[in-house]
Chains A and B, each alone.
Chain A
Amino acid sequence: MNSGNSKKRSAAATPSPQQQQKHHAAMEEEDLDEDVFLEETLLQYEEDSQVLRELEESNSIKERLQKWKRPSLSQAYIAQTQSISFQQLEIDYIIAESHKELLPNSSGQAAILRIFGVTKEGNSVCCHVHGFEPYFYISCPPGMGPDDISRFHQILEGRMREANRNSNAPKFVRRIEVVQKRSIMYYQQQASQPFLKIVVALPTMVTSCRGILDRGIQIDGLGMKSFLTYESNVLFALRFMIDCNIVGGNWIEVPVGKYKKAARNLSYCQLEFDCLYSDLISHSPEGEFSKMAPFRILSFDIECAGRKGHFPEPTQDPVIQVANLVTLQGQDQPLIRNVMTLKSCSPIVGVDIMSFDTEKEVLRAWRDLIREVDPDIIIGYNICNFDLPYLIRRAEVLGMAEFPVLGRIRNSRVRVKDATFSSRQHGTRESKEITIEGRVQFDLFQAVQRDYKLSSYSLNSVSAHFLNEQKEDVHHSIISDLQNGNAETRRRLAVYCLKSHLARKLSALVPLQDAYLPQRLLDKLMFIYNYVEMARVTGVPISFLLSRGQSIKVLSQLLRKAKQKDLVIPNAKQVGSEQGTFEGATVLEAQAGFYEKPIATLDFASLYPSIMMAYNLCYCTLVTPEEVRKLNLPPECVNKTPSGETFVKSTLQKGILPEILEELLTARKRAKADLKEATDPRVKAVLDGRQLALKISANSVYGFTGATVGQLPCLEISSSVTSYGRQMIEHTKKLVEDKFTVLGGYEHNAEVIYGDTDSVMVQFGVPTVEEAMKLGREAADYISGTFIKPIKLEFEKIYYPYLLISKKRYAGLLWTNPDKHDKMDAKGIETVRRDNCLLVKNLVTECLYKILVDRDVPGAVQYVKNTISDLLLNRMDLSLLVITKGLTKTGDDYEVKAAHVELAERMRKRDAATAPSIGDRVPYVIIKAAKGAKAYEKSEDPIYVLENNIPIDPQYYLENQISKPLLRIFEPILKNASKELLHGDHTRSISVPTPSNSGIMRFAKKQLTCIGCKTPLSGSDRTICKHCKGREAELYCRSVANVAELENLFGKLWTQCQECQGSLHQDVLCTSRDCPIFYRRKKAQKDMAEAKTQLDRWNF
């Protein structure tokens, strides 16, 4: 139960730095609290008893699960003589009767917060927190006395009752207090003014009460009046965290005597107790409390038996295997490796196998495993949208009401909701939101998709990208065959099932060394550390990080800071002036070309945060134009921004945003310094995660103010920031070009060739990297001196050589020390677009490498020519030509005919069993077709192409795929790039294979032709014609060389596949089309057979 389940979720409102100039925010709808009534969620008594009965039945399994239980409680805990200190992972709330002992004065239903966590001994904790009440503020109308307030209270109570007729709550508005606060908006001279704090009974009442006040309320003496509410959009759990100074994933301590052991255990947690919110001690994540508790992380994956030609559907297709791997946070080796299978399965070394006769038993065993192992975090790949909903739906189909009790609350079922995730990057996606009480779900698929830009997010390509390993992939139609075979084939399946998530390398069968792929991704990408640190820095619960946008993080920090300063944040969708968009960052005109002298790059370090700090830009320092006139502030106390806004200087009022930023950046500096000194790899991981989180957070503050539909947009701030940014870039350019001149005593005139949002590229004209570095540093220091602190221009790197194509598109060799270059850096060139084939990427990368690193332009040209020649001569590795697109709907639903949809349709007609179904990715190549054929008719299945020798359409690849990116690179370098590269001699010779499936070929008579000159052979000649007799040796050498090359390739390819599948004695059955060698392997097999037949003709 997350406190507040948003109906709609939205993606990052804060764009990454590159996108900041767009100033479009994704639709961010408000997060709403949702009251969950304890009594309603629990299974009824009858069902409960059924659960118990079934538990008894599966006693034998229980025994096996027993050994994986958490460590038992120490005596001190049992005797309640010890404070309970735990790291919390999840906070939610529930509505139940208020606690009579702890709160003797209140009665009725109240919101009870539940904190789930783990002690450092590894014991699970469920802490019920009582006494915290939902509230919000409105500004107090002037002249309101205590009597007026109590009257207002009555009226409000009455209106609330009207609006919530169905509710049987005895009281809605608990009380109204007068507090001294100040709105965060605009610079105000008076210190504070009275506000009304309205405390309501239940969290949802905040929203409903806000609605009433927004619309207006009739008050005696004042008439109809509507109120602007403050902080009425804060989720209850977050409110609680803010008020108690709890940040996501920190340690909480409840002192001895302050907690009461729960009378009735509602949860499966080992320590369950009640306490008052005021008794909680929240430790800030420093020192001992920056460590991580030993959470239990469960990584799981299911396999379903699909029907031929269909994607598995929970209504029909059974779950046949579930693989589970449990790891303790911070340990390399998994604690549990387990596979549950339907039907018997031969054992696998090092793996615990549980076999069952019925699917119900499998599911039940899995639920029991969850209960006994009690994972804190559940991870997997696409579990949120596939595995979990599938299991739950499947259990429903099987009529297992007791299955979805997966959370930590006894007899409470998980709740599944449809959610829509819409974002500009990914479009709108339907997804499922599953609430498993007390356990954090962490879907690696979502996390990777969110944090990394990749061309494909299949587990295979993700693991290939990060772990540098290929994943064995078995098509679901094969899976059914294996399942329906014998114990041995099921074992083969189990090996696959385990491995695809657990072991890659060695150990299909010995998954001891390697962890599951998601687990390994988790470790490799340091997700746990990074996300926990992000939660700690921004103060939101961990579960928010994946499911919610960026703005909640900034809002959380803002609220915390505001609370310290007695400021309140208005709940206005649009504050400040109405303003559509504003001018973005500046990009200096790029002077395209190939620069063979070192180019120094001057970067502004955290430009936008520093601008906000330097000029004290904040909500509370903004002065509206009317106020400017009214207040008549002295000019030395205000900054007028280039965009025309006025902000007071910090001497009058220090801004909150600058303060937050300052803290973030200082904290980052400290984290980085600590990181340098740290030796323990775990501490290092924490610190690194922290500095990263701090950096991201600092950068997202600017985005928060610019998100027009965000929580608290203020375009005056964001447009001021960008206008300062523009000014600085221009200023830098001017200074550099004025100072570094021959007249100024330097050897050359410096020239700014390009400038981006926060960096300027300067050609100082000096020939060596070392000199350029010296001048770069000099320039950075000189120019930094002209800026207000903390704005700082830094010299970071040299590009040498540097290929500038156009704005945002460049490549160069990066140097940070004069001796050796660091790497090749390319921006906007390497087309990671999915609808490009691999050939483009390889070609572009190789060319850049040759041009920049080898400094070999002719070599690059030759390479392009060779590649084009290979393409035309049909010698290209087919996998390089494959284009892949996801099939999301059936053909009829697409408005325009798309190549991959048409192909899927055609494949279905050929063989429904192996045709791609919805949700699959369809790989295709473009083949030669009749003249005038539409592009979508020219798509074909790569395997079909290989098997039938169908000619591909090299012209398509030449013109539609490789020409543009190539010309982009070569145009600054070569004069007649297009002519030279795309129309030279090398394009003359072409080779087209004869398709074996076309109609006309059936009538053709096969006749041997001379190996040398392709003349049809007659008479007794079997190998070569009489004209070629003298060339026997040459021709033979060529045949045999071809065979030798293919043999070499064949061996390498097929042994690699054996390596991937982790077995020498079993045939390779991987059908992973994402694997780069999949088609090559197939082609090698086919070419090999042909070449061998050809060679055998010599044995006359």
Chain B
Amino acid sequence: MVSTEVDSEKNLLHRKQSVYQSLDESFGIQKEVYRGQQYSQIYFARLHLMRTLLYSIIPNWKPHLPVCTVLGLEEGKECIIVGTLYKHMKLKPSILDEYSKERSASPLVQRHNFMHLDDNLVLEDESGRVKLSGCLLPSTYVTGNIIALHGKETSAGEFFVEDALEAGLPQQIEQPIQLGEDKYVVFISGLSVGRSSSNPLQFQLLVDHITGHLGDEKEQNIAAQIVQVVIAGNSVEVPHGLLNGQNLGSKDQSRLFEPIKELDILLTQIAASIPLDIMPGSSDPANFSLPQQPLHRCLFPGSSAYNTFRSCTNPHCFELDNIRFLGTSGQNIDDLGKYSEANNNIDFMERTLRWRHLAPTAPNTLGCYPFTDRDPFYIETCPHVYFVGNRDKYESRLIKGSEGQMVMLICIPRFAETGVAVVVIEYQKP
């Protein structure tokens, strides 16, 4: 129905193509079952993975120092220890608060950040815990970070940190040298279809724009270079409180279903012309804990008919013409924002890359499936583009790793609030 062949009289514009490869497999939990496993295993898996890695780079960092376990610490002896950080937070909300004796007289203000000056860090490995003091800033780190520390045990039994080592950027696959043609990838997030304040026209305009229905030839030319659209979460907003067990009346059913239907119609328009990846987000009809599983196809009877429509996991990882993209719908960065501090979202993003971990706060404060033998959030290979959806505003930064890695970090703003989508050029190496 809709395609790029708009102006058929003039020279036909052909949409460019690229080679797409999904790398979401590790984020799938289809085969996983809840059989009573606990969260200790994912921490264990993480520690094991990261420690092996850190051990391999410690000799380059401080070769003269011995490496210890927490148990092996001796008072006054300088050494390096590797372990999982645990941050004690006074203000951290707890489920036990529900049971506190008295409801406080003043209504609880929803805090957006739970930091407090008294917060402190503890390092833990399988052998034990030790309280940290010294130069490590509690406001930067969160529970679940794995880190190597140089320091010594004080007489008070604390570990005085002198220096810290993070895993750093992982290795990057070589970016291919291609024949020079520009291709674009469009990122959208936070469409929030169904929200009372959202403007359906705005999204329609975007759809028309990227499918080449708008603008002059020049713009259409650009539109034709779009090879992929990625929707990074929070596409719909389902009215709250409808789904609490009682059977729905037909009126409520439609209230529930209307936004999804609307979204499907628009997505159908995109999918008909461009390959489309849709990731679930916190407000979408998907599961809560990370990794979020793909939105079910039955929600999109129209668009799912196209093979260009791909429902993906969150986090989502894919390669386009051998350029690697990795991103989330934003929960990991939101959670870091609650439990640590940074100047901006990009800083948070950069940190996660340097920690080589997408979501260190999972499972502690970020819901997460209790994996037993792996930690899917570990970043094994450095992406070329790292995106996070549902931010307040657009931001980007190009960072370089010690081994020549180059990563583009992108914050995708909420479309419903800003009307901004992000276009990324698959640029060519000079």
Contact = CB atoms under 8 A, between A and B. Distances in A.
Interface of A: 346-350, 464-465, 468, 470, 505-510, 512-513, 821-824, 845-846, 849, 853, 873, 875, 989, 1031-1034, 1036-1038, 1040-1045, 1047-1048, 1050-1056, 1058-1059, 1062-1068, 1076-1077, 1085, 1088-1089, 1092-1093, 1095-1096, 1098-1099
27 contacts: A349-B130, A464-B99, A506-B131, A510-B130, A512-B131, A845-B103, A1033-B260, A1033-B299, A1037-B243, A1041-B238, A1041-B243, A1044-B286, A1045-B288, A1048-B288, A1048-B289, A1051-B289, A1063-B124, A1064-B86, A1064-B124, A1064-B144, A1065-B40, A1077-B95, A1089-B33, A1089-B34, A1089-B35, A1095-B287, A1096-B30
A405 to B, nearest CB: 32
B285 A1040 contact: yes
Contact of A1098 (B38, B298, B365): B298
B101 A465 contact: yes
Nearest to B35: A1089
B44 interface: yes
Contacts of A875: 245
A1085 B34 contact: yes
A1085 B36 contact: yes
A1041 B285 CA distance: 7
B179 interface: no
Given A507-B131, A510-B122, A1047-B289, A1038 B253 contact: no
Interface string B337-375: 000000000000000000000000001111111100000
Interface string B280-313: 0000011111000000101100000000000000
Contact of B287 (A350, A465, A1044): A1044
A1040 B287 contact: yes
Contacts of A346: 71, 127
A1025 to B, nearest CB: 15
Given A846-B103, A1058-B39, 17 more contacts: A347-B71, A349-B157, A350-B130, A350-B156, A506-B86, A507-B122, A508-B129, A510-B130, A510-B131, A1036-B299, A1037-B243, A1037-B285, A1042-B243, A1062-B129, A1064-B84, A1064-B86, A1077-B96
Nearest to B94: A1056
B127 A1038 contact: no
10 A-B pairs with least C-beta separation: A350-B157, A1044-B288, A509-B129, A1041-B243, A1089-B34, A1051-B367, A509-B128, A1047-B289, A1047-B288, A1032-B298
A803 to B, nearest CB: 16
B70 interface: yes
Given A349-B70, A873-B245, A1065-B47, A1034 B253 contact: yes
Nearest to A842: B99
Nearest to B72: A347
B427 interface: no
A1099 B286 CA distance: 14
Contact of A821 (B105, B157, B287, B299): B105
A1064 B43 contact: yes
B57 interface: no
Contact of A1031 (B43, B238, B253, B365): B253
Interface in B246-297: 246, 248, 253, 256-257, 260, 285-289, 296
Contacts of B94: 1056, 1059
A989 B127 CA distance: 52
The CB with the most chain A CB atoms within 10 A, among B44, B86, B298, is that of: B298
Interface in B61-120: 70-71, 73, 84, 86, 88, 94-96, 98-103, 105, 120
Interface string B115-153: 000001010111111110000000000011000000001
A989 to B, nearest CB: 8
Nearest to B71: A347
B40 A1066 contact: yes
Contacts of B84: 1064-1065
Contacts of B99: 464, 1076-1077
Interface of B: 30, 33-36, 38-40, 43-44, 47, 70-71, 73, 84, 86, 88, 94-96, 98-103, 105, 120, 122, 124-131, 143-144, 153, 156-158, 238, 243, 245-246, 248, 253, 256-257, 260, 285-289, 296, 298-299, 363-370
A1043 B128 CA distance: 34
A846 to B, nearest CB: 8
Given A1033-B260, A1052-B95, A513 B131 contact: yes
Contacts of B158: 512
A867 B12 CA distance: 65
Contacts of A1093: 33
A1036 B157 contact: no
Residue of B129, B245, B365, B370 contacting most chain A CB atoms (<10 Å): B129
A1065 B122 contact: no
A822 B260 CA distance: 48
Given A512-B157, A1034-B256, A1040-B287, A1088 B129 contact: no
Given A350-B157, A1065-B40, A1099-B30, A1036 B286 contact: no
**Best-buried of A468, A846, A1062, A1064 by chain B (most CB within 10 Å):** A1064
Nearest to A333: B156
B324 to A, nearest CB: 28
B129 A507 contact: yes
A160 B131 CA distance: 69
Contacts of B256: 1033-1034, 1037
- Chain A CB within 10 Å — which of B40, B253, B369 has the most? B40
Contacts of A505: 88
Nearest to A1085: B36
A349 B96 contact: no
Given A1036-B298, A1037-B256, A349 B105 contact: no
Contact of B243 (A1038, A1059, A1092): A1038
A1055 B364 contact: yes
Contact of B129 (A510, A873, A1096): A510
B198 to A, nearest CB: 19
Contacts of A465: 101
A1093 B29 CA distance: 12
A821 B124 CA distance: 45
Given A512-B157, A1051-B289, A1036 B296 contact: yes
B285 A1067 contact: no
A895 to B, nearest CB: 36
Contacts of A1077: 95-96, 99
A846 B120 CA distance: 35
Given A1040-B286, A1055-B363, A1067-B40, A853 B105 contact: yes
A1092 B34 contact: yes
Nearest to B83: A1065
Contact of B285 (A822, A846, A1036, A1053): A1036
A1096 B287 CA distance: 12
Given A1036-B299, A1055-B364, A1043 B36 contact: no
Nearest to A1100: B298
Nearest to B156: A512
Contacts of B365: 1055
Nearest to A1082: B36
Listed residue (B30, B47, B99, B370) with the most chain A CB atoms within 10 angstroms of its CB: B99
A1051 B369 CA distance: 8
B304 to A, nearest CB: 12
A325 B304 CA distance: 66
Nearest to B122: A506
A1088 B127 CA distance: 31
Contacts of B38: 1054, 1058, 1067-1068
A1076 B296 contact: no
B370 to A, nearest CB: 8
A1099 B363 CA distance: 26
B297 to A, nearest CB: 9
Given A1058-B39, A1076-B99, A1037 B288 contact: no
Give the one of A824, A1047, A1056, A1093 with max B CB within 10 A. Answer: A1047
